[in-house]
Structure 1
Amino acid sequence: MSNTERLANYDLRAEIKAYWSERAATFDQSPGHEIFSEEERAAWHQLFLRHLGPGNGRAALDLASGTGVISHLMDDLGFRVTGMDWAEPMMERAQSKAKIRKRSISFRLGDAENTMEPDNAYDVIVNRHLVWTLVDPKAAFAEWLRVLRPGGTLLIIDGDFVSSTPLERLLSKLAVFGTRLGILKSDAVQASAAMMDTHRSILSRVYFSQGARAEAVADLLRQSGFDTVTIDTDLARVHRAQAKHWNLFKGLARGIQHRYAISATKAG
């Protein structure tokens, strides 16, 4: 990699960190981020149990943990959870939330692409909506494989937030139009034009700038040394629970997006 490429990657990663630092203040107000119902909590639990089984005190690393939403779900299931995020405002909110809820989750500042964790340290690694932001996913996957114990499982929850079907685009336009007319419920958090521009700019420069399709992510996991890579697109129960907190058209659009969970193991 040339010095120019390294500088470009550094600048992009710095922008990503700054973006999520700014988003921290309102992150938990948005459906799809925090858990807004017991129905949704149960749906997430079911997904984790399907791929990971019960915690039973096993060590789990939640990468790009944000305000700790996934960490708390894993803690519910009996995992011994460490949450890691590189945005200090996110980490501060995660630590405060865990203290209020009296959870024994360890949160620490760290880089998901270079964790600085020991070899073979965790039974489970999980992340949500991290992979689409990665500058070098193959290097990140190799890092996660190193940190995972033999026989351990990686669970990725992500989606393609770039390419969309004509039906999805139509539903999204109807959602925006109905909101502007005041006949449909608006989002709890309205992103500023500047934040939306920043998001689009970041998305255009990450590795998966054309969309993080499940098969492409799965192929990179196999190339990085993971075994038994399984794609699960059955997230309907989670999406149905979340949709109740959006307007009709936005809920329908979310339900048909290309979203998925991918589990992969490290050879024992």
Structure 2
Amino acid sequence: MTDSRAIAAYWDHAAEDFDREADHGLHAPATRAAWARRLAGWMPPAPADVLDAGCGTGSLTQLLAEAGHRVTGVDLAPRMTGQARRKLAAAGLSARLLTGDAADPPTGQDRFDALLCRHLLWTLPDPHAALRTWAGLLRPGGRLILVEGRWHPAGQDPPPYTTGAAALPWAGGVTATRLAAAVRPLTAGLRIEDLTGEPSLWGGPVNDQRYALIARTPHTRNTRNT
């Protein structure tokens, strides 16, 4: 059984050093530019209403705001959203930043043109429920953009990263094939983009699976499942 309080405390503690990772802080110009290019290719034309689920310290939130989108960022850890607020303010940009469960964002009746989530599904106790919720937060024809990966071979999942994380179903990450199977019934079509061979995104070469899944919700109705 997962312990959401322990998991929230872990990420709260991690916030101080989170941006030291090349793909978190985006301090290197080449890394920052690589993510900006990818986001431009995935997102609808600006200005769009975009939800950054699991926004962390707001590096991608900032890139989206710089591109002219109206961004809402949600993260479970208060220190993460606190850093995101400071980062956006220092850049002279605005975004709505909320502290709450990214798997069930506290956004009320708001609907979005796109939802971006990067490297979050492996931390969730029920990723399938989160996917259903996220699809329902999108307007008809909206885009679901999931940047994910499989970081450990099947059957070799790592030990729990913190107390209460032992039961996480996708603890070692999720393959593109498995994620596509979970998303396909919720959407009108999807594609997979391989990101493994693009070291500029990660600050150097990687030898695990990294990819983006980009899907569209049906144009005729909202698919929210509660």
TM range (shorter): 0.7 to 0.9
Task: Give, in whole Å, the separation in 1 of the partners of 2:214 and 2:99.
Answer: 25
Unaligned runs of 5+ in 1: 1-7, 165-195, 244-250
**How far apart are residue 214 of structure 1 and its match?**
1.0
1:209 aligns with 2:166: no
Instruction: Tell me if the contact between 2:54 and 2:117 (Cα under 8 Å) persists in the aligned partners.
Output: yes
Partner of 2:85, secondary structure, is helix
Counterpart residue number, 1:257:
208
Q: For residues 210 and 106 of structure 1, do their structure 2 counterparts lie closer, same or farther at Cα, with a shift above 3 Å needed?
A: closer
Instruction: Report the structure number with the largest CA radius of gyration.
Output: 1
1:29-88 residue CA offsets vs partner (Å, 9 max, x unmatched): 22121102222222112211222243x211000011011011011112221111111101
Counterpart residue number, 2:86:
96
Amino acid across the alignment from 2:171 = S
Task: Give, in whole Å, the separation in 2 of the partners of 1:71 and 1:207.
Answer: 27
Instruction: Tell me if the contact between 2:98 and 2:106 (Cα under 8 Å) persists in the aligned partners.
Output: no
Give the alignment's TM-score, normalised by structure 2.
Answer: 0.87
Counterpart residue number, 1:221:
183
Q: 1:149 aligns with which of 139, 143, 166?
A: 139
Task: Give, in whole Å, the separation in 2 of the partners of 1:241 and 1:221.
Answer: 24
Q: For residues 14 and 227 of structure 1, do their structure 2 counterparts lie closer, same or farther at Cα, with a shift above 3 Å needed?
A: farther
1:232 aligns with 2:193: yes
Query: What is the percentage of aligned positions where both structures have the same residue?
Result: 29
Task: Give, in whole Å, the separation in 1 of the partners of 2:161 and 2:169.
Answer: 14
Counterpart residue number, 1:267:
218
Q: 1:61 aligns with which of 38, 51, 63?
A: 51
Aligned length, in residue pairs: 216
Instruction: Tell me if the contact between 2:115 and 2:143 (Cα under 8 Å) persists in the aligned partners.
Output: yes
Q: 1:16 aligns with which of 7, 10, 21?
A: 7
Give the alignment's TM-score, normalised by structure 1.
Answer: 0.74
Task: Give, in whole Å, the separation in 1 of the partners of 2:144 and 2:30.
Answer: 25
**How far apart are residue 119 of structure 1 and its match?**
4.5
Instruction: Tell me if the contact between 1:37 and 1:241 (Cα under 8 Å) persists in the aligned partners.
Output: no
Partner of 1:124, secondary structure, is strand
Aligned-residue CA RMSD (Å): 2.2
Partner of 2:25, secondary structure, is coil
Amino acid across the alignment from 1:128 = R
Partner of 1:127, secondary structure, is strand
Q: For residues 162 and 202 of structure 1, do their structure 2 counterparts lie closer, same or farther at Cα, with a shift above 3 Å needed?
A: farther
1:84-137 residue CA offsets vs partner (Å, 9 max, x unmatched): 111011111111111111111111112112113244610010011111112111
Q: In the TM superposition, what are the counterparts of 1:118-157 in structure 2 within 5 Å? A: 118-119=108-109, 121-157=111-147
1:122-164 residue CA offsets vs partner (Å, 9 max, x unmatched): 0010011111112111110111111111010010111112228
Instruction: Tell me if the contact between 1:114 and 1:143 (Cα under 8 Å) persists in the aligned partners.
Output: yes
Partner of 1:32, secondary structure, is helix
Task: Name the one with the larger helix percent.
Answer: 1
1:39 aligns with 2:30: yes
1:164-204 residue CA offsets vs partner (Å, 9 max, x unmatched): 8xxxxxxxxxxxxxxxxxxxxxxxxxxxxxxx975276665
Unaligned runs of 5+ in 2: 220-226
